[in-house]
Chains A and B, each alone.
Chain A
Amino acid sequence: MSKPFDGTEFFQQLQHAIERARREADGCKNKVVALDDRLDELIGRKGETFVELAKHYLPEITKVAVENTYGEVRDELLDTLARKQRHESKLNDRIAEMEASRAKHELELAAVTQQLNASAEQRDQLEQELADRLQTNDQFQNQSRDAIRAEQELIRNKQRVEEIRREASEKLPAYENSPLFQYLYSRHFSTPDYSAIWPFRIFDGWVADFIGYRQTRQSYDFLRSTPELVDAAVERRQDELHLLLESVQKIEAEASREIGLDNVMLDGLRLGKERDELVRQLGQNHEQFVACQQEQIDLDRSQGKFYKQAIGRFKEVLEKTETAVLEQRAEKSADSSDDEIVAELKWIDDEIADIRIQLPIATDQHEEAEDRVSGLNYVVRRCRQSNFDSDRSYFTDDLNTSEAIDEYFNGELNQFKLLRKIRQHQQFHPTWSEKAAEKIGTTLESETSQAVMASVAAVAGSVLQSWLKSGGAVDNRNRKGPFTKGPGF
């Protein structure tokens, strides 16, 4: 028999129970996750083992290897083999075509290169002859010298134009920002357009003398007009230079035509284009040839696409075949490797079957544990709503909380029965008004009657207190009641 205990202690026990339930639920969840992971791993391993078995029976895609496989898939594998052989045949034909094309292009390239070399040699000879001719042509020599000189002069002139422009841009703002100069300039002073009357003519003259307008005006006009004038002159010189260069080129072109250099140049350009095109074709041909060769190598290797298709199909057939059948066939074969692979498959099947039995059980346990956590949370919520955690709340000595919680964990009690059991043993210490009522000997049976009596007592008490404080006046605002909906506070 235990002692009575208060609401705070009771709630601590409930909190411990919730933590215990949470730990159990987490443990169940971890178990479910571990079983799931293991199942995924075994399924993946089973797939790999089937591929291993398929590769064991079909190490390469040849007629002999296909004959050693299962009858169910043999026709399909033979079909894949036939497609592979057809593809190889086409690939070989293409490679042969490309080799022939390359040989043809190589021959053409050699011929064109030979012609191009001859043309280049002829060009060099004729260029030498042209140079000799022009060397003795006085007109060409004079004009060439003039053109070179004019070009150098033109470069200097262009630099000078830039200098003049820069100088004007630096010096003109002083004129444009001077009110005195701008006044006289706007009145056209010292020009035929000047039309001021006496006495302004005298005063304007005085201002002009003061700033030296006549000289200044010339400088201003010079700075404004000179860049354009010089620039126009330089452009004219450039045009003259072009004409001179054209004349020089005309003499050279005429001499070139006379000795036949023009035709040789045209012929050389045509051959050059032809050669470039042949080189491009040969490069393209080579790239295609390398790609075909690579494809041929891939087909011969185990990673070839036809082999992958065959293994994939064979694996599907093996997956559909019973493990017992696989065992029988492995036993029949002389090699022991397939026995080992099939034994591993059988072990994986057993493991998967075992996990598929354990998994629903673990899932149910997890759900039950989560329900227990929810149930305890429900009990705590309801107890709080009923103010079982107040200082006035206490539990009678015949409630064994640990035992009740154990019964809940064992499934003997659900959350509703546990709550009912707690309610049965919970009580509140009487308020001072209830104690006063007891003193006046009032005996009330029902809870309602007790509550009404408590209110009456409270009103009476508060009236008494107010009356005493205010010297006899009654204040209804001092009436007190419970702080919460429940009776605990």
Chain B
Amino acid sequence: MDETLRIMDVATALRQQREVVRSQLNLDQIKDQLRQQLRETADVSGEPLSREEIDAAVGNYFDNLHTFREPPRSMRLTMAYLYIRRGRVAAIIGVLLAVSLLVWWVCFR
């Protein structure tokens, strides 16, 4: 049963790859379909969209597709950075504590 499922997974992966390839090589058709859908939606909703506006919207969509940007600067971002660098942060804190302890031991005891 496991073997069958694994074979099915491979077959699915191959089919998905084929679809990706087909969609990428027929991107113009996909863009045309998207334009058509936008046109129909605009017609139904009564929004007066021109052909140029639809083209610009489609172009913008594909330009930003698969684009990545980190979140803007914030406390949450700082905390996230501190977390992923927790090893180094812990090491620095450890060294500072050791030095403080040493100073206390030498000077105040």
Contacts A160-B25, A222-B20, A226-B24 given; does A183 touch B84 at CB 8 Å: yes
**Cβ–Cβ contact A179 & B84, under 8 A:** yes
Given contacts A180-B80, A180-B84, A210-B80, contact A223 B21 (CB under 8 A): no
- In the complex, B66 has a CB within 8 A of chain A: yes
Q: Which of B20, B67, B80 contacts A226 (CB 8 A)?
A: B20
Choose the segment among B34-42, B68-76, B98-106 that binds chain A (4+ C-beta atoms closer than 8 Å). Answer: B68-76
Are A160 and B80 closer than 8 Å at their CB atoms? no
Q: A211 to B71, Cβ gap below 8 A?
A: yes
Q: Write the B1-39 contact mask toward A (1 if CB under 8 angstroms, else 0).
A: 000000000000000010011001101000000000000
Q: What is the number of residues of chain A that contact chain B, defined by CB distance less than 8 Å?
A: 27
Cross-chain contact of A233 among B21, B27, B85 (Cβ < 8 A): B21
CA distance A216 to B68 in the complex (A): 7
* Residues of chain A contacted by B77 (CB below 8 angstroms): 210
Which residues of B have CB within 8 Å of A171? 66-68
Given A207-B83, A210-B76, A211-B71, verify A223-B66 contact (CB < 8 Å).
Answer: yes
- Cβ 8 A contact of A157, one of B17, B25, B69, B76: B25
Q: Is A198 interfacial (CB-CB < 8 Å)?
A: no
| Interface residue A181 (Cβ < 8 Å from any Cβ of B) | yes
State which of B21, B24, B27, B70 has its C-beta within 8 Å of the C-beta of A180.
B70
Once A179-B81, A183-B84 are accepted as A-B contacts, the answer to whether A233 and B67 lie under 8 Å apart by CB is no
- Report the Cα distance A210→B84, complex, angstroms: 13
A334 at the interface (CB under 8 A from B): no
Within 8 A of A (CB), among B76-90: 76-77, 80-81, 83-85
**Cα separation A159 to B25 with both chains bound (whole Å):** 10
Whether the pair A229, B20 counts as a contact (CB closer than 8 A) is: yes
In the complex, which of the residues B20, B25, B27, B69 contacts A174, with contact meaning CB atoms closer than 8 Å? B69
Chain A residue, CB-CB nearest to B74: A210
The answer to whether A178 touches B68 (Cβ under 8 A) is yes
Partner of B68, one of A167, A203, A219: A219
Closest Cβ–Cβ distance, residue A240 to chain B (whole Å): 14
B73 to chain A, nearest CB (A): 13
Which A residues are in CB contact (< 8 Å) with B20?
Answer: 222, 226, 229
Interface residues of A in 214-246 (CB under 8 A from B): 216, 219-220, 222-223, 226, 229-230, 233-234
Shortest CB-to-CB span from B88 to chain A, Å, is 12
Q: Which of A142-165 contact B (CB under 8 A)?
A: 157, 160, 164
* Residues of chain B contacted by A57 (CB below 8 angstroms): none
Contact between B80 and A229 (Cβ–Cβ < 8 Å)? no
Q: How far is the CB of A238 from chain B (nearest CB, A)?
A: 13
- A220 contacts B68, C-beta separation under 8 Å: yes
Q: How far is the CB of B75 from chain A (nearest CB, A)?
A: 12
A202 to chain B, nearest CB (A): 11
The minimal Cβ–Cβ distance linking A172 to chain B, given in whole angstroms, is 9
Name the distance in Å between B4's Cβ and chain A's nearest Cβ. 19
Q: Smallest Cβ distance from B22 to chain A, in angstroms?
A: 8
Given known A-B contacts A171-B66, A171-B67, A230 and B80 have beta carbons under 8 A apart: no
Q: List 20 A-B contacts (CB under 8 A).
A: A160-B27, A167-B66, A171-B66, A171-B68, A174-B67, A178-B70, A179-B84, A180-B70, A180-B81, A180-B84, A203-B83, A210-B77, A211-B80, A219-B66, A219-B67, A219-B68, A220-B68, A222-B66, A226-B20, A233-B25
Q: Given contacts A175-B68, A178-B68, A180-B70, list 14 more A-B pairs with CB under 8 A.
A: A160-B27, A164-B24, A171-B67, A174-B67, A174-B68, A178-B70, A180-B84, A206-B80, A210-B71, A216-B68, A219-B67, A219-B68, A229-B21, A230-B24
Residues of chain A whose beta carbon lies under 8 Å from any beta carbon of chain B: 157, 160, 164, 167, 171, 174-175, 178-181, 183, 203, 206-207, 210-211, 216, 219-220, 222-223, 226, 229-230, 233-234
